[in-house]
Amino acid sequence: MAKTDKQLHIAMFPWLAMGHIFPNFELAKLFAQKGHSITLISTPRNISRLPQIPTHLEQLIKLVSLPILPKHKANLPENAESTMDVTPNKVPYLKMAYDGLQESLTQLLKSSAPDWILYDFAADWLPPLVHSLQIRCVFFVVSPAWNLCFFDTPKPQLGSAAVFRTKPEDYLRPPSWVPFHSNIGLKLHEVKKMFEGVSDKETGVTVSFNFNKAVSSCDLFSFRSCYELESEWLNLVEDIYKRPVVPVGVIPPSFQVRIVNEEDNKPEWLKIQSWLDKQEQGSVVYIAFGSELKLGQQDLTELALGLELSGLPFFWALRKQQDSSSVDLPDGFEDRVSDRGVVCRDWVPQLKILAHGSIGGYLTHCGSGSVIEGLHFGRVLVMLPYLLDQALYARVLEEKKLGVEIPRNEQDGSFTRSSVAKSVKLAIVDEGGSIYRDKAKEMGLVFSDKDRHEQYIENFLQHLQHKREPFQI
């Protein structure tokens, strides 16, 4: 990539979740390739989880570890520094640990004096802090803009036009400030979960994230997104918050160093490749749910029996779940489907699998990275979301005919093997699903267009350079 004309020093301070830290790390490498200096800040264990920095970028990327204060470790499991290390009821303590990094972060920023800092939704205290140090800040979101538009009630920005949502029913449809047609909204079982909040039932400690406080003082919005996916939502953010919105593109797999053919000759991949080569083009369902999702026994059973009922070939990357030793596949399932299905409990090269021509669709929880990887290769999505942002991803992508969501019971969120089988077949083989397959291939051409997304990065950096002068208090 060509270097932009002025070198910037950009700091990054993502939320304590690897699904947030990894995209920042990938973005850091892209910025460094343009000749800019990057400081990525997190806790020691999270920094140790990052891949090795490419040799030619080592001088430009600095990884800084800020230890969690001892007083914030008492209620966390040993060595817990990320959402992947804790159960949902412990997230309040992780938020306290994150907030507790404020003093050490302040000292670091004073000594390093970056031009800009990219911060996350959980750091609502950061904008006034960095502005006092004459540092500009970017509210960087690793998911699409529709999440912010839906979950934040922009009362300070819209005044009386921002109607507060107080009842569960208010979240079943788009908020009043969305001026265009959309089917975005939560299901009743998801709203119930949202109203319950994240809390430690033993101590009663709860956590809340003040989106509006986090965004109201930023100098710039950026999203891991693109106008081809959600121009209406990106424009709405700019209209509501009266701040520039400059997306960085989707940071496609083609930008990521780890896609290099380093796994080509590994025995694990050669075995998988051999099996995929024997399948018909576009016939295989690939199933994966990321590194953090833990399926309960009922969901795991219905999902497995639904795949069996579908009659389609499948490859299931089923990670071993910590603290879930009693959760397992139905008795005899693997024997019954051995002629057409693979269940792999070890790490798999997901990008190489998705790139294989035999893959017809991707059954996913709709994590942002997973969606981008699936659509990058033009794979139609079969969607089974669990978290609230994943749910909105599923609603919008189904509206755009890029995927099929597995229906759930409105009250409790349960689903059946029959609904799994019908959804998979519709997405991958049924004639009625051809529009989904065609739309996914069309979006694949956008997501895999390296030049297009390189231009997003270039535009973002040019904007930072234009606004490089110190912030005026």
Find the domain containing 314 and state its range. 263-447
Query: Do 387 and 274 fall within a single domain?
Result: yes
Residue 237: pLDDT band with limits 50, 70, 90: very high
Q: Is residue 471 part of a domain?
A: no
Q: From 144, 143, 164, 170, select the one nearest 212 (Cα to Cα).
A: 164
Predicted pLDDT at 413: 96
Of the residues 85, 115, 120, 124, only one is catalytic, namely 120
Residues of the chain with pLDDT > 90, as a percent, come to: 82
Question: Looking at residues 78-99, what average pLDDT do you find?
Answer: 93
Q: Does residue 202 carry a pLDDT above 90?
A: no
Where is 461: in which H helix or E strand?
helix 450-466
Q: What CATH number does the domain containing 221 carry?
A: 3.40.50.2000
Query: Do 79 and 23 fall within a single domain?
Result: yes
Known catalytic membership, residue 131: no
Query: Do 171 and 277 fall within a single domain?
Result: no
Instruction: Supply the DSSP string of 66-127, one letter for each residue.
Output: -PPPGGGTTTS-TT--SGGGS-GGGHHHHHHHHHTTHHHHHHHHHHH--SEEEE-TT-TTHH
Q: Does residue 205 carry a pLDDT above 70?
A: yes
Query: Do 217 and 246 fall within a single domain?
Result: yes
Query: Do 407 and 323 fall within a single domain?
Result: yes
Give pLDDT tens digits for 353-386: 999 999 999 999 999 999 999 999 999 999 999 9
Mean pLDDT over the full length of the chain: 92
Three-state DSSP at 318 gives coil
Residue 262: pLDDT band with limits 50, 70, 90: low
Predicted pLDDT at 257: 45
pTM score of the predicted model: 0.92
Query: Do 140 and 194 fall within a single domain?
Result: yes
Looking at the chain, how many residues does it have? 473
Query: Do 323 and 454 fall within a single domain?
Result: no
Query: Do 198 and 53 fall within a single domain?
Result: yes
d(CA 354, CA 368): 16
The residues, ordered by sequence, that sit 6+ positions from 16 with a Cβ below 8 Å of its Cβ are 42, 43, 46, 81, 82, 83, 94, 97, 98, 122
Strands (E), 276-379: 284-288, 314-317, 341-344, 359-364
Strand partners, 118: 12, 138
How far is the first Cα of the chain from the last one, in angstroms, to the nearest whole number?
Answer: 36
Could you give the angle at the alpha carbon of 320 between the alpha carbons of 317 and 321, nearest 5°?
120
Residue 455's CB is within 10 A of a number of other CB atoms, namely 12
Question: Looking at residues 167-191, what average pLDDT do you find?
Answer: 94
Q: Does residue 324 carry a pLDDT above 60?
A: no
Give pLDDT tens digits for 440-466: 999 999 999 999 999 999 999 999 998
- The tokens describing 40, both together, are 């990525």
Residue 293: pLDDT band with limits 50, 70, 90: confident
Predicted pLDDT at 321: 61
Predicted pLDDT at 260: 45
Q: Is residue 87 part of a domain?
A: yes
d(CA 243, CA 441): 33
Chain CA centroid to CA 112, Å: 29
Query: Do 321 and 229 fall within a single domain?
Result: no
d(CA 122, CA 95): 8
Predicted pLDDT at 256: 61
Give pLDDT tens digits for 124-139: 999 999 999 999 999 9
Q: CA-CA-CA-CA torsion for 411, 364, 423, 193, nearest 10 degrees?
A: 10
Domain count, the chain: 2
Could you give the angle at the alpha carbon of 167 between the alpha carbons of 166 and 169, nearest 5°?
135
Of 151-165, 293-307, 393-407, the poorest mean pLDDT is in 151-165
Known catalytic membership, residue 181: no
Predicted pLDDT at 450: 93
**Higher pLDDT among residues 311 and 471, named by residue:** 311
Query: Do 437 and 462 fall within a single domain?
Result: no
Q: Is the alpha carbon torsion for 207, 100, 52, 320 positive or negative? A: negative
Q: Is residue 4 part of a domain?
A: no
Q: Is residue 283 part of a domain?
A: yes
